[in-house]
Every structure is written in C-alpha cells, then in structure tokens.
Structure 1
Amino acid sequence: MTKKIIYSILAVGVLIVLWFVFGSDSSEETDLFIDVGKGDFEVIVTTTGELQAKNSIRIRGPRGAQTIQVWNMNIQSLVPEGTMVEKGDLVAELDRSDVMTRMQNAQLEVQQAESQLEKAQLDSSLTLSQARDELENLRFQLEENRIAVEQSVYESPAVQRQNQIELERTERRLAQEEKNYQTRILQEEAKIREIEVTLEQERNTLSRIMEVMNGFTILAPENGMVVYTRNWRGQKTTTGSTINAFDPVVAELPDFSSMESITYVNEVDIQKIKTGQTVDIGLDAVPEKELTGVVTLVANIGEQRPDTHSKVFEVKIEVNESDTTLRPAMTTSNDILVENIEDALFIPLESVHTFDSTDVVFKRDGIQMVMQQIVMGAKNENDVVILEGLHEDDQVLISMPSDISGMEKVLLPDEVLEKYRQAEDPEGDRPQTREVEMAGAPGR
C-alpha cells in the first residue's frame, strides 16, 4: 500500500513538472528548426511534353496541286487514328468539287483548241487550193502568150513587141505567185503549229488536273499505324481539316523503335538547358513505367504557343529505351538534370527571407537566434544551395519569427560579397548590388 502511495505521488510530481515546462508556454508559437543539409544537389527543370516518333513516313496528298491553281484541299474522309494499314490501303479522300470544276473547264478549252485546229486546217487547205488554181491559170496564160508570140512573126513589129511584153509580164507574175505560194504555205503551217501548241498546252493542263485529281485518293505508302499530324496551331489534322498544297501531309506512319519527347521550356529556364543533358521521363498513361532520355535539340528562337502568355523554346528529348507501349501523342513528364553539385550545403527555399535586398536566414546560435546574411547558389523546386553564411552543423528556422526586434544581425565580410559580385559580373558592367544597412550589426 505504501509503494502505491509513493508511486502516485511521484506521478503527480512528474505531471506538475511537465505542465510547468510545456503547459505554461502552450500559448506561444513553437519554432521549427531544421539542420542544414549536405550532399549531392540536383538542379532539375521539369516540363510536360508529348511523345512522337523520331522517324516517320509522311502520308501526303497530291503533289503539284499549286500548278493547277489549287492551294488548299479539304479532307473529306480519313481513317481513324491508330488504324493499322498495309501498303496500298486507302487512308484518306480529299474533296474533289473544286478540281472537278477546273477539269471541266480544261476539257472545254481542249475541245475549243481542237475545233480551232480543225478549222485552221480546212482554211489552209482551201487557201492553198485557190492559190494552186491561180498558179495553174497563170501557166495556161503563159502558154497562150508564147503561142501568140510565135504566131506574130508575120505581124508588124509593134504587134510582135506587144505580144512579147505580155509574155514577159505573165512570166514575172507566175514567178511572183510561185514565191507567194511558198510563203503562204509557211504562213499556214505557222498558224497551224501555233494552234497545235495551244492545243498541246490545254491537253497538258487537263492531264495535270487529272493526275492531281487521282492523288485525291490517298493510299498508304508502307505498312504501319496511322497517326494524325498537327498544324502550326497544334491542332490535329483530321476529317474536315484543310491541307496546304505546298505541304499536303494528312497523316504519318511512325517508326516506334525510336521515340522522342517534344517539350517547350519557358524563357526563364531555357538558358539552363543544353544538349546532352540526361532526363528522367515519366508517362502519364503508364505511371509505373520509368524511362530515360537525353536532350538532343534546343531551339535558338522562341515561339508563342497557343494558350500561353510568354515565349517558349522547343526542346527535343530522345528516349533511350525502345518499348512497345510507347505511342505518339502520349503525355510525358520530363525531369531535365541541368546541374549536379557534389557536397553542397542546402536548405529549403521557404527558410530564406529578404530584408533590404539582402538574403538572410534565422540561425540558431546557442540558445539564441540570429539573423544571418547568406549568399545563395543554384536552386531547384524545393531547396537552394548556400555558398556563404552557413555551416554543415547549423540549424535554421523554417518560418520567419514573430518578433525580430533587437535580434543580432550577422553580415558577411565585404571581401566575400565582392568575390561573388565579380563572379557574377566579371566585366564590371552590371550595377553594384545595394549594400545592406543593418543598424547595430556587429562584425564577425
């Protein structure tokens, strides 16, 4: 019985002591300190991308449509995306209404040219026939003049002279008409050739139109899976879409053995991205699958993507693994490792605060707390590297304390700050950072 009383008294005493230690301060906020971390520090840029085949065969519409003044063509029908096709299978049909009108007009032009040629040939035959008749009549007249000259030997000299003049006039006229006949032949031949050239041009135009129109039925060039392409707005080309005559691509047959993720990095982070950097790739459709990749291309010029307010730069990431589950247009998450710092000191970003343009932390100093100036290095989404101001065994406050009046402020030496200023601006062109004024800050 006595032991029970003693134990009870001791338990009550412990409770009283605990209340005095903890209970009396329960109304005050408990400060949360964390240790300064040390180890490998990874700077990662995370982006969202979309898979596409690195190599693919483009399924194109008719070539040369612009030569017949057809600039845009509407897709009347297109097989569903993901359809497996064999070489020669139907993939798409384009709207022929516009080109049919052009073909009918071309047929009329051909018919008109053929009629003109036939008429010219008939006119030429008639004209040359009349010319030949006239030449024949002149030959008869020449023969008559010769007979008259022969019979006039018994006539007076005047009559003989007159008959001789008529003979010579007829000879000259016949010679002239023979030359004119040859010229007329050349003229008629040239006229017919001109019409024949026009006819040939009209026939070629009709042939080109028919050839282009035949291309409006689009067949698969090889075996594979049909994947829709995207236009410059990022919209898929599908039934009802319009394709351009200069790049009439309606779909693609991708090579699944080599894939890449196409992503876009904002202008703030693009300076960190370099070719050759390694990437951890995740698939939204298959969260348990982990892939790796490498940055193969970083665009030099930014672009304004739809639904974005800032410029972004295209980045291509080649996927190292070959997997049958990978499909174009799958959404990827890309963790691009831009920097790996060994044996770095780092703390959470939320533990860093700014006073008078100076970065500081609240550090435990024995049983007290001080405001410590720091120099920061690389950052990632959660932490920041500390170059100056902290040591491995230090502890810092996560949140800002409620009262900092009278708190000791510890500044870094000017030579330390100057070293980092020069490292950031070796040319000395950038303006100097405004020095911090902390009244009563003792030197350390």
Structure 2
Amino acid sequence: MQVLKTHLLVPSALLAFLFLFSSCSSTSNKGKEQSHNLSVPVKNGEFKIYVTATGELKAKNSEQIKGPPGMRGAQIYNATISDMVPEGTVVKAGGYVATLDRTELQTKLKEAQTEIDKIQTQLDQAKIDTAIELRGIRDDLINMQFAMEEKKLQVEQSRYEPQMVIQQAEIDLEKAARDYKQLGYKYELTQTKSIAKISEIMASLRQEQIKRQRFVDLSANFTIKAPKDGMVIYARSWNGKVGPGSQISTWNPVVAELPDLSIMISKSYVNEVDISKVQKGQDVQVKVDAFPDREYSGSVIQVANVGEQLRGYDSKVFEVTVRINEVDSILRPAMTTSNEILTYTFPQVLYIPLEALQNDTIAYVFKKEGGKIVRQEVLTSETNDNEVIIEHGLKEGEEVLLTVPDNAEKLPLKAVDPKIKADIKKRLKEEKKKRMDEALKKMNEVKDEYQPKNEGGGNVIIFG
C-alpha cells in the first residue's frame, strides 16, 4: 500500500514542476517582449526650447586696479607682480593690494644716479676750466694795461725827440691800445661761451635729476593700493589669472578689480550651431554650481555679432552675456554657472521623446494600434534637448515605441497625404517668420547694455 502511494506522488510532483516551469517561461518571454517594445504616450502641453550654456560670474560694473601710469615714460614696459593679497580679500580705500618687482626700476635708478654724478663732474670741471681761462685773460688785460701806460710815458718822453721817434712811440701806443681792446672782446666772448657751456651742462644735469626723481616717484607707486573699499578679484588675461608671478604691461596694466556685487552677470560662449536661436531679451534660468539648490532668473543683454576661434576648440563660439535679476550676497565673481536660455515657448503642442522618432527618407514612429504595431509617418517641427514637436500623424495619448521592433521592415506604413504635408510646411514657414518678427521686436525693446571685453581675454568656459 505504501509503495502505491509513492508511485502516485512522483507523477503528481513532475506535473506540478512542468506547469511551474511553463508559467515562468511564459512570464519571462512576455517580460522580454514588453521590455523590448517599451512605449510612451504622446503628450500634449507646453513645449520649451532651451540653449544650455556654462558661464562664469562677474560683476557688471567694477573698478580696475591698475599698475603705475608712469611706466611707459620710464621705458619700463613690463613688470612682474612679486606679491599680492589673496583673491577675495576685502580692502579699504588706500589699503595694500600688490607689490611690483622693482629690479628693473632699481637698475634704471642706479644708471640715472651714475649719469648725474658724471654730469656733475663735467660741470665742476667746466667751472674750473672757465675760471682758469678767464683768470689768464684778466691777468693779460692787467699786463697789457700796464704796457699801454708805459707806451704813453714813452710818447710823452719823445716829445722833444726827432719826428721819426715820436711817430714810432705813437704807433706803439696805438698798437698796445688795440691789443688791449681786442683782449677785452676776447674776455667777454670767453665769458659768454663759458656761461653757455655751463648752462648746457646744468640743463643736462637737471634733466637727469628730473628723470631720477621720476624713477623715485614711480618706485613708490610700485606698491599698489586700492582706490576704494571693495573685494579684490584678480584680473584675467589670455594666460589665465593675474596673480603673484604674473606680468602686467603698459598696454594692459590691470592688476585686479573691485567689483560692484549688487549687479552680477554671467559670461558664456555659445556654439555657432545654436547662436542663431539666442537673442537679447530672452529669459534665462541660472544655477550656480557652488550652490546647486539655488536658482536665479536672468535675461540676455548682449550677443556677440562675431564669433571667436578659441584655443582647443574646432568650431567658433559667440560670447553671450546674461544679467542676473536677483541680488544675493553669496554670489562671487568667477563662480561657474549653468545657464538655460529660453529661446521660445510653444503653449500647446503634441510632442514625443526624440528616441521615438525614426528618420529615413521620411520621419516616422512605431505606433501601437489595435493591439498591433504600425509605422506611422509624422511631420515634425522644433526640437529641444529631449523631445520633438509633432505637427501631424499622432494624437494625444497614443503609444509610440522607444525602440525599433524586431520585424520593423515588415510593418505596414501609414503615410501622410502629400497635400496635407504641403499645407503644414507652408504653415510652419509662416509661423517661423512670425516668431522671428516677434523676437526681433522684443530684442529692439531691450536696452543695449554693452559689456567691454576683458582685455586680453581670460579663462573662458565653452559649452556645447
């Protein structure tokens, strides 16, 4: 009896196992099919088009802290920053900001002092030479005056001498008088010449002294101070931040800036593919990487007309300036921002994910219809980063596949009537022109807020 029960249990267990295996296999195949044919409904609602950009915060208005203005006059065209307060330091008006290396200036000071000493020696020598020369002429004048007096006595003594002797004495007196007069003229000319020579040397001396004093004054200005209260932000150049070890030049002497943090802007660069969508006056959502939980509103205030070929990038980019509407004390220059520029909003349209759209010679989707899957031709218009607008071919709530089914080439195609295509394309063209006119009108209503470029450029952030 026990053996009979055992024989009956074995077939029952086997049947139960086979039933369970069959059920699991069926469920697994069904799950695979559902996963492979993942679908989403066609949505109807607001559709926004954004251009995404990465930017860098800076103050809209700032006062530049520059190196000494007399560098060019001193023929010093570059100077190295030997010391500088840390970026972000809050300073008072007249407070210390930076020190420039004085090596070249000290060399010029020594050269100027050497030249002054040289000219001073020349001046002293000229004075001595002049004194000696004039003293010699004065002595000669005195001697000639005595000789002339002697000739007068000879004329007096020869009064009773023969006529020939008298004439000779008179001739000698006349000659002595003429020599005395000529020597007097020579003395005056020598004196005038000496005065001119000494004046010339003294002019050169004064010029070198002024030059040296200019160097001394410039040396004092090599200690750079803040023109007003504020936070020190390092200047930018094509070589990066200007800081200790950097060089400033006479044509770009900016060391740092004191920004006005009450009005902040975000400088960003847009790829040439997307720049046609961006215009002044467009709204922008701004997020700061340092504070991801905070969001700010802004607007485009400037779009560059000419692209730039920046280092390390194949395509050209255009500078776009966004003004931040809110004032927040935590915002600081040089912070990285994520800017979403809203280029247009469609209030009520049908749209699907980009993954659902297939493109061959026509645009189509795989749509579920009556328990089957068909290829449905669609007419599309604008896209954003994730979705595309459907102008014709689908209805709200219809299911479209996100992946291509296995038998895609065998599925029937539901085409759109050519006349409908032509009408929709014409309508889309008219609507696009209308949108462009509206955007142009809005752009013209926005006040031009020109932002000068950072001389020499700076550390730029490029986005795709």
Shorter-chain TM-score tier: 0.7 to 0.9
1:290 aligned partner? 295
Distance change (3 Å), C-alpha of 1:135 and 1:39: farther
In the aligned structure 2, how far is the partner of 1:97 from the partner of 1:70?
11
Q: State which of 183, 208, 212 in structure 1 corresponds to 2:214.
A: 208
1:402 matches 2:400? no
In the aligned structure 2, how far is the partner of 1:276 from the partner of 1:384?
25
Superposition map of 1:99-248 within 5 A: 99-233=105-239, 235-248=240-253
How much has 1:386 moved relative to structure 2? 3.5
TM-score calculated relative to the size of structure 1: 0.80
- Asked whether the 8 Å contact 2:367–2:400 carries over to 1, the reply is yes
1:384 aligned partner? 388
2:363 aligned partner? 359
2:256 aligned partner? 251
Two-structure CA RMSD over aligned residues (Å)? 3.3
SS in 1 for 2:408: coil
Superposition map of 1:261-280 within 5 A: 261-280=266-285
In the aligned structure 2, how far is the partner of 1:390 from the partner of 1:311?
38
Distance change (3 Å), C-alpha of 1:370 and 1:156: farther
- Asked whether the 8 Å contact 1:227–1:252 carries over to 2, the reply is yes
- Asked whether the 8 Å contact 1:370–1:410 carries over to 2, the reply is no
1:69 matches 2:68? no
SS in 1 for 2:237: coil
For residues 60-86 of structure 1, the C-alpha deviation after alignment (integer angstroms, 9 at most, x for no partner) is: 333322332323322222222222222
SS in 2 for 1:136: helix
- Asked whether the 8 Å contact 1:58–1:253 carries over to 2, the reply is yes
1:439 aligned partner? none
2:341 aligned partner? 336
In the aligned structure 2, how far is the partner of 1:421 from the partner of 1:165?
125
How much has 1:399 moved relative to structure 2? 2.6
How much has 1:184 moved relative to structure 2? 2.0
The one-letter amino acid of 1:159's match is V
Distance change (3 Å), C-alpha of 1:131 and 1:260: same
Unaligned runs of 5+ in 2: 1-19, 434-464
1:9 aligned partner? none
In the aligned structure 1, how far is the partner of 2:325 from the partner of 2:147?
100
SS in 2 for 1:288: strand
For residues 135-171 of structure 1, the C-alpha deviation after alignment (integer angstroms, 9 at most, x for no partner) is: 3333333343344344444333333333333333334
The one-letter amino acid of 2:297's match is T
Q: State which of 91, 99, 104 in structure 2 corresponds to 1:93.
A: 99
How much has 1:334 moved relative to structure 2? 0.9
- Asked whether the 8 Å contact 1:35–1:395 carries over to 2, the reply is yes
The structure that is helix-richer by fraction is 2
In the aligned structure 2, how far is the partner of 1:213 from the partner of 1:32?
75
For residues 246-302 of structure 1, the C-alpha deviation after alignment (integer angstroms, 9 at most, x for no partner) is: 333332222221111122222222222222221111122222222111112222333
SS in 1 for 2:292: coil
Distance change (3 Å), C-alpha of 1:104 and 1:284: same
1:82 aligned partner? 88
How much has 1:194 moved relative to structure 2? 1.7
In the aligned structure 1, how far is the partner of 2:66 from the partner of 2:107?
23
The one-letter amino acid of 1:211's match is D
1:40 aligned partner? 46
The one-letter amino acid of 1:183's match is L
In the aligned structure 2, how far is the partner of 1:133 from the partner of 1:376?
115
> How many residues are aligned here?
408
How much has 1:371 moved relative to structure 2? 4.0
2:452 aligned partner? none
- Asked whether the 8 Å contact 2:377–2:413 carries over to 1, the reply is no
- Asked whether the 8 Å contact 1:373–1:410 carries over to 2, the reply is yes
- Asked whether the 8 Å contact 2:297–2:324 carries over to 1, the reply is yes
- Asked whether the 8 Å contact 1:66–1:246 carries over to 2, the reply is no
In terms of mean alpha carbon deviation, does 200-209 or 341-350 score higher?
Answer: 341-350
**Percent identical:** 41
